Amino acid sequence: MKDNKCKIEIEGKIPLINTCVDASVEISHPCKKPPKPEPFAEYKRIEMTLPQPPGLPPLPPSIFFDMDTRLDEASIHEVIASLIFEWGRHYREKEETGKSQWSECALKYAFKNLTPVWLDKERKFMVNEGKKALDFLMDTFTSFLIQNGTWNAPIAKIDYLPPTSSSTIFSENANKQFHVPLDFSVNPIPLQEEAIRTLAGSLFHAWMHRMGYRHPKEEYTSYLIGEAPMCLMRGYADKEPSIPDSAFTRFFD
Protein backbone atom coordinates (compact mmCIF):
# COMPACT_ATOMS: atom_id res chain seq x y z
CA MET A 1 0.00 0.00 0.00
CA LYS A 2 1.35 3.40 -0.94
CA ASP A 3 -1.51 5.13 0.78
CA ASN A 4 0.63 7.29 3.06
CA LYS A 5 2.23 9.11 0.17
CA CYS A 6 -0.85 10.91 -0.92
CA LYS A 7 -2.95 11.11 2.19
CA ILE A 8 -3.64 14.61 3.33
CA GLU A 9 -5.26 15.35 6.62
CA ILE A 10 -7.25 18.37 7.57
CA GLU A 11 -7.57 18.70 11.28
CA GLY A 12 -8.66 21.08 13.99
CA LYS A 13 -11.52 23.44 13.29
CA ILE A 14 -11.81 22.53 9.63
CA PRO A 15 -14.22 22.22 7.96
CA LEU A 16 -16.59 23.51 10.62
CA ILE A 17 -14.72 26.78 10.92
CA ASN A 18 -17.21 29.46 11.73
CA THR A 19 -18.92 27.77 14.61
CA CYS A 20 -15.59 27.15 16.38
CA VAL A 21 -16.32 23.52 17.02
CA ASP A 22 -13.69 20.87 17.09
CA ALA A 23 -14.33 18.83 14.01
CA SER A 24 -11.81 16.96 11.97
CA VAL A 25 -12.06 15.19 8.70
CA GLU A 26 -9.51 12.85 7.25
CA ILE A 27 -9.23 12.86 3.53
CA SER A 28 -7.55 10.34 1.34
CA HIS A 29 -6.69 12.07 -1.88
CA PRO A 30 -6.14 11.42 -4.69
CA CYS A 31 -5.14 7.75 -4.29
CA LYS A 32 -8.74 6.62 -4.02
CA LYS A 33 -10.01 5.42 -7.36
CA PRO A 34 -13.38 6.72 -8.50
CA PRO A 35 -15.99 3.97 -8.56
CA LYS A 36 -17.12 2.92 -12.02
CA PRO A 37 -20.65 3.76 -13.16
CA GLU A 38 -23.09 0.84 -12.93
CA PRO A 39 -22.69 -0.95 -16.28
CA PHE A 40 -26.39 -1.71 -16.74
CA ALA A 41 -27.81 1.66 -15.70
CA GLU A 42 -27.90 4.51 -18.16
CA TYR A 43 -25.91 7.05 -16.23
CA LYS A 44 -23.35 9.50 -17.43
CA ARG A 45 -20.48 10.60 -15.21
CA ILE A 46 -20.40 14.39 -14.98
CA GLU A 47 -17.55 16.36 -13.47
CA MET A 48 -17.87 19.95 -12.30
CA THR A 49 -15.19 22.38 -11.19
CA LEU A 50 -15.23 23.22 -7.50
CA PRO A 51 -14.04 26.78 -6.89
CA GLN A 52 -11.77 27.62 -3.96
CA PRO A 53 -13.50 30.21 -1.75
CA PRO A 54 -11.31 32.10 0.75
CA GLY A 55 -10.95 30.85 4.30
CA LEU A 56 -11.35 27.18 3.44
CA PRO A 57 -8.74 24.41 3.35
CA PRO A 58 -7.51 23.35 -0.11
CA LEU A 59 -10.50 21.79 -1.80
CA PRO A 60 -10.53 19.03 -4.41
CA PRO A 61 -10.65 20.51 -7.93
CA SER A 62 -13.90 18.82 -8.97
CA ILE A 63 -17.12 17.20 -7.80
CA PHE A 64 -18.76 14.25 -9.55
CA PHE A 65 -22.20 12.88 -10.27
CA ASP A 66 -23.68 9.97 -12.17
CA MET A 67 -26.65 11.44 -14.00
CA ASP A 68 -29.55 9.55 -15.59
CA THR A 69 -29.04 10.16 -19.32
CA ARG A 70 -32.73 11.09 -19.82
CA LEU A 71 -32.03 14.39 -18.01
CA ASP A 72 -30.67 17.46 -19.75
CA GLU A 73 -27.04 17.73 -18.72
CA ALA A 74 -26.67 21.45 -19.47
CA SER A 75 -29.64 22.32 -17.20
CA ILE A 76 -28.42 20.09 -14.37
CA HIS A 77 -24.99 21.65 -14.68
CA GLU A 78 -26.43 25.14 -14.52
CA VAL A 79 -28.50 24.44 -11.37
CA ILE A 80 -25.61 22.87 -9.45
CA ALA A 81 -23.19 25.59 -10.60
CA SER A 82 -25.64 28.27 -9.43
CA LEU A 83 -25.87 26.72 -5.96
CA ILE A 84 -22.08 26.28 -5.77
CA PHE A 85 -21.66 29.95 -6.71
CA GLU A 86 -23.93 31.02 -3.81
CA TRP A 87 -22.01 28.74 -1.42
CA GLY A 88 -18.76 30.45 -2.55
CA ARG A 89 -20.37 33.87 -2.21
CA HIS A 90 -21.08 33.15 1.49
CA TYR A 91 -17.36 32.66 2.16
CA ARG A 92 -16.24 35.54 -0.05
CA GLU A 93 -18.57 37.97 1.70
CA LYS A 94 -17.45 36.76 5.12
CA GLU A 95 -13.84 37.24 4.09
CA GLU A 96 -14.43 40.71 2.64
CA THR A 97 -16.98 42.22 5.03
CA GLY A 98 -17.22 39.80 7.96
CA LYS A 99 -20.88 39.21 7.12
CA SER A 100 -22.72 37.03 4.65
CA GLN A 101 -26.11 38.00 3.23
CA TRP A 102 -27.24 34.39 3.52
CA SER A 103 -26.36 34.22 7.24
CA GLU A 104 -28.01 37.57 7.96
CA CYS A 105 -31.18 36.42 6.19
CA ALA A 106 -31.23 33.15 8.17
CA LEU A 107 -30.85 35.14 11.39
CA LYS A 108 -34.14 36.90 10.62
CA TYR A 109 -36.26 33.92 9.67
CA ALA A 110 -34.83 30.57 10.87
CA PHE A 111 -35.69 29.48 14.41
CA LYS A 112 -36.47 25.76 14.31
CA ASN A 113 -34.44 22.59 13.72
CA LEU A 114 -31.27 24.65 13.30
CA THR A 115 -28.92 21.67 13.29
CA PRO A 116 -28.64 18.29 11.59
CA VAL A 117 -29.82 15.16 13.39
CA TRP A 118 -26.30 13.75 13.74
CA LEU A 119 -24.92 16.69 15.73
CA ASP A 120 -24.17 15.94 19.38
CA LYS A 121 -25.99 17.76 22.17
CA GLU A 122 -23.07 20.00 23.18
CA ARG A 123 -22.60 21.36 19.68
CA LYS A 124 -26.35 21.66 19.10
CA PHE A 125 -26.39 23.93 22.12
CA MET A 126 -23.77 26.21 20.51
CA VAL A 127 -25.71 26.57 17.27
CA ASN A 128 -28.59 28.46 18.85
CA GLU A 129 -29.61 31.08 16.29
CA GLY A 130 -30.12 31.41 12.55
CA LYS A 131 -26.83 33.08 11.68
CA LYS A 132 -24.69 30.49 13.46
CA ALA A 133 -26.93 27.78 12.01
CA LEU A 134 -26.37 29.04 8.47
CA ASP A 135 -22.61 29.22 9.02
CA PHE A 136 -22.67 25.67 10.36
CA LEU A 137 -24.80 24.56 7.43
CA MET A 138 -22.34 26.07 4.91
CA ASP A 139 -19.41 24.35 6.61
CA THR A 140 -21.35 21.09 6.58
CA PHE A 141 -22.04 21.57 2.88
CA THR A 142 -18.30 22.19 2.36
CA SER A 143 -17.54 18.92 4.10
CA PHE A 144 -20.04 17.03 1.90
CA LEU A 145 -18.52 18.60 -1.23
CA ILE A 146 -15.00 17.63 -0.10
CA GLN A 147 -16.16 14.07 0.54
CA ASN A 148 -17.68 13.97 -2.95
CA GLY A 149 -14.57 15.40 -4.64
CA THR A 150 -12.17 13.05 -2.81
CA TRP A 151 -14.30 9.92 -3.33
CA ASN A 152 -14.83 9.60 0.42
CA ALA A 153 -18.57 9.38 -0.18
CA PRO A 154 -20.21 7.06 -2.71
CA ILE A 155 -20.71 8.66 -6.11
CA ALA A 156 -23.78 10.90 -6.04
CA LYS A 157 -26.64 9.80 -8.29
CA ILE A 158 -28.92 12.17 -10.17
CA ASP A 159 -32.10 10.24 -10.91
CA TYR A 160 -35.04 10.88 -13.20
CA LEU A 161 -38.47 11.61 -11.73
CA PRO A 162 -41.46 10.90 -13.95
CA PRO A 163 -42.82 14.13 -15.47
CA THR A 164 -46.15 13.31 -13.78
CA SER A 165 -44.51 13.52 -10.33
CA SER A 166 -45.62 16.37 -8.06
CA SER A 167 -41.97 16.87 -7.00
CA THR A 168 -39.48 19.25 -8.55
CA ILE A 169 -36.27 17.98 -6.91
CA PHE A 170 -36.31 15.32 -4.23
CA SER A 171 -33.76 13.64 -1.94
CA GLU A 172 -34.21 10.93 0.67
CA ASN A 173 -33.41 11.81 4.29
CA ALA A 174 -29.92 10.82 5.44
CA ASN A 175 -28.68 10.99 9.02
CA LYS A 176 -24.88 10.82 8.99
CA GLN A 177 -22.07 13.38 8.86
CA PHE A 178 -19.79 11.28 6.69
CA HIS A 179 -19.99 9.04 3.62
CA VAL A 180 -23.39 10.30 2.45
CA PRO A 181 -23.65 10.92 -1.30
CA LEU A 182 -25.45 14.08 -2.47
CA ASP A 183 -28.08 12.09 -4.36
CA PHE A 184 -31.16 13.72 -5.82
CA SER A 185 -33.98 13.08 -8.28
CA VAL A 186 -35.27 15.63 -10.77
CA ASN A 187 -38.52 16.17 -12.62
CA PRO A 188 -37.55 17.05 -16.22
CA ILE A 189 -40.51 19.43 -16.74
CA PRO A 190 -39.73 22.07 -14.07
CA LEU A 191 -36.04 21.52 -14.87
CA GLN A 192 -36.77 23.09 -18.26
CA GLU A 193 -39.41 25.60 -17.18
CA GLU A 194 -38.43 27.14 -13.85
CA ALA A 195 -35.85 29.85 -13.12
CA ILE A 196 -32.37 28.66 -12.20
CA ARG A 197 -32.50 30.36 -8.81
CA THR A 198 -35.78 28.57 -8.02
CA LEU A 199 -34.27 25.23 -9.00
CA ALA A 200 -31.10 25.95 -6.99
CA GLY A 201 -33.31 26.55 -3.92
CA SER A 202 -35.22 23.34 -4.59
CA LEU A 203 -31.94 21.43 -4.91
CA PHE A 204 -30.55 22.95 -1.73
CA HIS A 205 -33.69 21.95 0.21
CA ALA A 206 -33.27 18.38 -1.08
CA TRP A 207 -29.57 18.33 -0.22
CA MET A 208 -30.30 19.63 3.29
CA HIS A 209 -32.34 16.43 3.77
CA ARG A 210 -29.19 14.52 2.76
CA MET A 211 -27.15 16.59 5.25
CA GLY A 212 -29.46 15.61 8.11
CA TYR A 213 -31.86 18.55 8.37
CA ARG A 214 -35.58 18.00 8.93
CA HIS A 215 -38.99 19.65 8.93
CA PRO A 216 -42.47 18.36 9.77
CA LYS A 217 -44.46 17.26 6.74
CA GLU A 218 -45.40 20.29 4.60
CA GLU A 219 -44.18 22.78 7.24
CA TYR A 220 -41.30 24.96 6.13
CA THR A 221 -41.68 28.41 7.69
CA SER A 222 -39.16 29.06 10.53
CA TYR A 223 -37.36 25.75 9.89
CA LEU A 224 -33.78 26.18 8.69
CA ILE A 225 -34.38 23.63 5.92
CA GLY A 226 -37.19 25.87 4.64
CA GLU A 227 -35.80 29.33 5.36
CA ALA A 228 -32.21 28.81 4.11
CA PRO A 229 -33.34 27.77 0.60
CA MET A 230 -36.03 30.50 0.61
CA CYS A 231 -33.37 33.13 1.47
CA LEU A 232 -31.39 31.92 -1.54
CA MET A 233 -34.48 32.01 -3.79
CA ARG A 234 -35.30 35.61 -2.74
CA GLY A 235 -31.72 36.72 -3.40
CA TYR A 236 -31.38 37.18 0.41
CA ALA A 237 -34.00 39.97 0.42
CA ASP A 238 -36.53 40.30 3.23
CA LYS A 239 -39.87 38.57 2.83
CA GLU A 240 -42.59 40.59 1.13
CA PRO A 241 -45.99 40.45 2.85
CA SER A 242 -47.66 40.09 -0.54
CA ILE A 243 -45.69 36.95 -1.44
CA PRO A 244 -46.57 33.88 0.65
CA ASP A 245 -43.88 31.32 1.52
CA SER A 246 -45.85 28.80 -0.53
CA ALA A 247 -44.70 30.60 -3.69
CA PHE A 248 -41.28 29.10 -2.87
CA THR A 249 -42.07 26.01 -0.80
CA ARG A 250 -44.15 24.47 -3.62
CA PHE A 251 -40.75 23.55 -5.05
CA PHE A 252 -39.79 21.65 -1.86
CA ASP A 253 -40.60 18.13 -0.83
- Residue with smaller CB distance to Zn ion, 27 or 169: 169
For the bound state, the minimum distance from the C-beta of residue 90 to Zn ion, rounded and expressed in Å, comes to 21
> Which residues in the 194-253 window bind Zn ion by CB under 5 A?
253
- Residue with smaller CB distance to Zn ion, 86 or 253: 253
Q: Which residue has the closest beta carbon to Zn ion?
A: 253
- Residue with smaller CB distance to Zn ion, 60 or 181: 181
For the bound state, the minimum distance from the C-beta of residue 161 to Zn ion, rounded and expressed in Å, comes to 15
Binding residues for Zn ion, rule CB under 5 A, total: 1
- Residue with smaller CB distance to Zn ion, 87 or 204: 204
Q: How far apart are CA 247 and CA 251, in angstroms?
A: 8
For the bound state, the minimum distance from the C-beta of residue 118 to Zn ion, rounded and expressed in Å, comes to 17
For the bound state, the minimum distance from the C-beta of residue 64 to Zn ion, rounded and expressed in Å, comes to 25
Query: Nearest-5° angle of CA 24, CA 29, CA 35?
Result: 115
Q: Rule CB under 5 A: which residues touch Zn ion?
A: 253
